[in-house]
A = this chain, B = another copy of it.
Amino acid sequence: MVINNPKTKNHSPVRTVFFVSDRTGITAEALGNSLLTQFEGVTFNKIHLSFIDTSKKAENCVKQINEACIKDSNPALIFSTQIDEKYRDMMAKSNGVFFDFFETFISRMEDSLGSKSIHTAGKLHGLDSNQNYNSRINSVNFSLASDDGMSIKSFDRADIILIGVSRSGKTPTCLFMALQYGIKASNYPLIEQDLNTDKLPSILRPFKDKLFGLTINPVRLKKIRGERRSSSDYSSLKQCQSEVRRAEDIYHSNKIPYIDTTQISIEEITAKISNKFSLR
Contact = CB atoms under 8 A, between A and B. Distances in A.
Interface string A106-142: 1011011111011110111111111001000100110
Interface in A159-210: 171-172, 175-176, 179-180
A64 B81 CA distance: 30
A39 B31 CA distance: 21
Interface in A32-54: 33-35, 37-42, 46, 48, 50-51
A244 interface: no
Contacts of A259: none
A23 B209 CA distance: 26
A61 B34 CA distance: 22
Interface in A212-252: none
A39 B179 contact: no
Given A33-B124, A137-B172, A119 B268 contact: no
A124 B128 CA distance: 29
B111 A9 contact: yes
A130 B270 CA distance: 16
Given A51-B272, A140-B172, A38 B123 contact: yes
A77 B112 contact: yes
A101 B42 contact: no
Given A75-B112, A113-B9, A172-B140, A37 B123 contact: yes
B50 A271 contact: yes
B39 A115 contact: yes
A254 interface: no
A126 B265 contact: yes
A124 B37 contact: yes
Interface string A1-44: 00000000111000100000001111100110111011111100
Contact of A263 (B46, B127, B265): B127
27 contacts: A15-B113, A24-B268, A25-B271, A26-B180, A26-B271, A27-B31, A31-B31, A31-B81, A33-B124, A34-B101, A34-B123, A37-B123, A38-B83, A38-B117, A38-B119, A39-B113, A39-B115, A50-B275, A51-B271, A51-B272, A97-B108, A97-B112, A127-B268, A130-B265, A137-B172, A140-B172, A172-B179
